[in-house]
Structure 1
Amino acid sequence: MKRFVFISALLLFCCNPETKQKKTFDAVSEVQYVEAVTLLGDTLRTPKALPGKTLDKYKKAKEQFDKTPDSVEAVIWYGRRTAYLRHYQKAISIYTDGIKKFPEEARLYRHRGHRYISVREYDKAIHDFKMAAKLMDGQPDQVEPDGIPNSRNTPISTLKGNIWYHLGLAYYLKGDLENALWAYQQREMTNTNNDNLVSEGHWLYMIQRRMGDKEGAAASIQDVAMKMDIIENTNYHKMCLFYKELLDLKDLKIKGDGSSSDDVFLYGLGNWHLYEKNDTVTAKTYFKRLLEEGNKYSFAYLAAESDWNRLFESP
C-alpha cells in the first residue's frame, strides 16, 4: 500500500504542468518560450541552449546561485549567464527576485534594464536605468567585468558608463532624441578609453544629425582619429571615420554573414542616407536588409526596427 501511495505521489508531481515548466525552465530546456514580440509583430522564442562554453558557464553560475542565493554577486552572474543564452525573460525574473532582496543594488537595475531593451520593453528599461543612476549618484564608479571577454581580456566599460549608455539607447529606440542626447552627454563624463569615445560618438553623431545640429554632431566625434587603439568597437570607429569623411562607402565592408559589423554598417548607412541625403529609398533598402539578415537583438537591429515602425510601412 505504501509503495502504491509513493508511486501515485511521484506521478502526480511529475505530471503537474507548473512543476514541469519550472524544472525545465531552470534547467535551460528546449522548450521555446516567448521572449519578445518585435515592433513589427514577429514573435521571438527561446533558442535551444547548445553545448559549449556559454552553457557550461551558465551551469556553473546557477550552481553557485543555488549554493549562495543570498549573494548579490551570485544573483548578478546567474542572470547574466542566463541572458547570454538568450533566455531574457528568465534573466529578467532572476534580476527581479534579486531586487526584492537587494533593492539598493544599482547593478541589478542596470542589468535588468538591459534585458528589458532586448525584449522591447523600453519604458521599463528607462525606469530601471534611471533608478540605477539615482542609486549611483555620488558613488564612485567601478569597472564592469566582462561576461564575454574581449581578445585582450580587458574590460572597457564601467557601471556608470553602461547605465548612461543604455539609458540613452532606450530613449533613442523610443524616438525621444532630446532625452537620448541628454543621457549620452552624461555618459560622456565616464569616458575612459577610445572604445568608449567611438561608441558614444557614433550615437551622439546620429542623434544630433537627426535633430538638425550638424555642428554638435561634428563636435561629438572631433577627437576620433584614423589611428586609435580600439579593442572592441572597431565598427563604431569605422562609422565615425566615415562621418568625418576619412573613410568611403567602399571601406565599410558588408560581408552578408549576419555579423555584428554588418548590423552596425547597415543601420549607420541607412540612417546616414536619411539625414545626409534625404534619400528614403536607399535608407529603406539598408534597413530592410538589416531586418531580414541581422541579429534580432543587436542594438542596430532594434534601432532599424524602431525606425521602420515609425517611418515606413511593414516590410
Structure 2
Amino acid sequence: MCSLAQRTEPEVYSPLGKAYFARPDSTGVIAKADRALLDGGEKADLLLAAARARDQFLRFADSIPLYTRGLQAFPDDVRFPRFRGHRLISIRRFDAALVDLKTASELAPASFDVSYHLGLAYYLRGDYNHAAREYTRCLALGDKPKPEFLRGMPEGWRSCYALDDDSRVALTDWTYRALRRAGKHQEAKQLLDRITDSMAVKENISYFKALLFYKGVRTEEQALGSPQNANAISTIGYGVAVFHRLEGRTERACDLLQRIVNEENWSAFGLIGAETDISRGLCAPVKK
C-alpha cells in the first residue's frame, strides 16, 4: 500500500518547468479507502476506490501504481487502463497514456469516456488527425440508439450511442479544435450546425460557451464572463485561445494561454493544453 504521508516532492514538473504538488487529505478519505482494501482483499472495486481516493487530492504518483496493480490483476477490466490513462495525461506522459487508452478502447470501443480521453491523448501529442478521427467516430454513434449489449462496458458508464447534449458539447469542442488544427476547417465549421442555444446543457456549460463563441453567437466577453467553476477559465479560455491563434490573432491567443497556465488546477485539460502549446513554441517570438 502506498504511504498515507503527504508527499513533499512535486507530483510533476510541467513542460514550462513549474512544479506541481498534491493537496493534503485532511478528511481521511484515503485512509478509509485503504482500510476497505486491506479488509476486503485485492478486489477490483476496492483497488479502484483506493486509487481514485488519491486522485481527489492529485496524488497521482500514488494512484497510478494502484491502477497498475489492478491492470495486472484484472487485465479485462476496462476501468484500470481508462483511469490510468487519464492520470498519465495528468502528469503529462502523453505517449504512455495513449497506450493505456488504446487498450481501453479495444476493451470497450463504445465508451464515451474512453473515446474522450483517447482523443485527448492524441491531441496533446499534436496528432490532430488521429484525435479528430477518434472524436468523430464517437460523435457518429451519437444519433444512433444504444444497443442492448455493449462489449466491455461497466454498468453506469456513458456510451457514444444516444449522446445527451452535455456529452455532445464536450466531444464537439475537442473535435472542433482538432479538426481546425488538422487544417480541416470546413469539417470543423459543419460541426457547429448542431450547436444551438436551445440545447439542454446542464454540466458542461464551459464547452457550450466556447462552441457558441466559435459559432459567432457569443462574444469573447460573454464566453469568458462569470465562470461556473474552477475549471471554467481553463476550459473556455483554452478554446478561445486556440480559436484566436487559428484566426491569426497570436498575441491575443498567447495572452490567454499565459493566463491559463497561472490557474491553480494544474490537472485541468485546458491548462495542460495551454502549457503544451507554449512549450512547443506557439508563443515564441518570430525571428526576423
Q: TM-score range by the shorter chain?
A: 0.7 to 0.9
**By how many angstroms is 1:231 displaced?**
2.4
Higher relative contact order (CA 8 A, sep 6+): 2
- The answer to whether residue 246 in structure 2 is matched with residue 275 in structure 1 is yes
The residue that corresponds to 1:166 in the other structure is 117
Deviations 1:234-291 (A, max 9, x none): 1101111111112112212345898211111221111111112x01111111101111
3-state DSSP of counterpart to 2:201:
coil
Classify 1:46/1:294 alpha carbon distance in 2 versus 1 (closer, same or farther; 3 Å): closer
Deviations 1:198-248 (A, max 9, x none): 001111111112222222112223212102222210110111111111211
Aligned-CA RMSD value = 2.0
Q: Which amino acid aligns with 1:246?
A: V
The residue that corresponds to 1:8 in the other structure is none
Is the 2:250–2:283 Cα contact (8 Å) retained in structure 1?
no
3-state DSSP of counterpart to 1:48:
coil
3-state DSSP of counterpart to 2:132:
helix
Classify 1:291/1:256 alpha carbon distance in 2 versus 1 (closer, same or farther; 3 Å): farther
**By how many angstroms is 1:49 displaced?**
2.1
The residue that corresponds to 1:209 in the other structure is 180
Q: Which amino acid aligns with 2:207?
A: Y
Q: Which amino acid aligns with 1:85?
A: F
The residue that corresponds to 1:3 in the other structure is none
Structure 2 length-normalised TM: 0.85
- The answer to whether residue 46 in structure 2 is matched with residue 69 in structure 1 is no
Rounded Cα–Cα distance in structure 1 between residues aligned with 2:52 and 2:198: 34
Rounded Cα–Cα distance in structure 2 between residues aligned with 1:50 and 1:256: 27
The residue that corresponds to 2:279 in the other structure is 309
- The answer to whether residue 3 in structure 2 is matched with residue 26 in structure 1 is yes
The residue that corresponds to 1:134 in the other structure is 106
How high is the sequence identity, in percent, across the aligned residues? 27
3-state DSSP of counterpart to 1:41:
coil
Classify 1:177/1:242 alpha carbon distance in 2 versus 1 (closer, same or farther; 3 Å): same
Classify 1:257/1:218 alpha carbon distance in 2 versus 1 (closer, same or farther; 3 Å): closer
Runs of 4+ in 1 over 3 A off after TM superposition: 253-258
Rounded Cα–Cα distance in structure 2 between residues aligned with 1:268 and 1:114: 20
One of 122, 126, 133 as aligned partner of 1:182: 133
Is the 1:258–1:293 Cα contact (8 Å) retained in structure 2?
no
- The answer to whether residue 214 in structure 2 is matched with residue 243 in structure 1 is yes
Rounded Cα–Cα distance in structure 2 between residues aligned with 1:273 and 1:216: 18
Q: Which runs of 5+ in 1 are unaligned?
A: 1-21, 142-159
**By how many angstroms is 1:116 displaced?**
0.3
Is the 1:262–1:294 Cα contact (8 Å) retained in structure 2?
no
Q: Which amino acid aligns with 1:173?
A: L
Is the 1:263–1:294 Cα contact (8 Å) retained in structure 2?
no
Classify 1:46/1:295 alpha carbon distance in 2 versus 1 (closer, same or farther; 3 Å): closer
The residue that corresponds to 1:35 in the other structure is 11
Rounded Cα–Cα distance in structure 2 between residues aligned with 1:199 and 1:256: 16
Deviations 1:80-127 (A, max 9, x none): 111111101111000111112112211100010000000001111000
Rounded Cα–Cα distance in structure 2 between residues aligned with 1:135 and 1:240: 31
**By how many angstroms is 1:36 displaced?**
1.0
Q: Which amino acid aligns with 1:185?
A: T
Is the 2:129–2:179 Cα contact (8 Å) retained in structure 1?
no
3-state DSSP of counterpart to 1:26:
coil
Is the 1:34–1:45 Cα contact (8 Å) retained in structure 2?
yes
Is the 1:32–1:47 Cα contact (8 Å) retained in structure 2?
no
Q: Which amino acid aligns with 2:119?
A: G
Rounded Cα–Cα distance in structure 2 between residues aligned with 1:208 and 1:273: 15
Q: Which of 61-70 and 296-305 deviates more?
A: 61-70
3-state DSSP of counterpart to 2:11:
strand
Q: Which amino acid aligns with 1:287?
A: L
Q: Which of 80-89 and 249-258 deviates more?
A: 249-258
Alignment size in residue pairs: 264
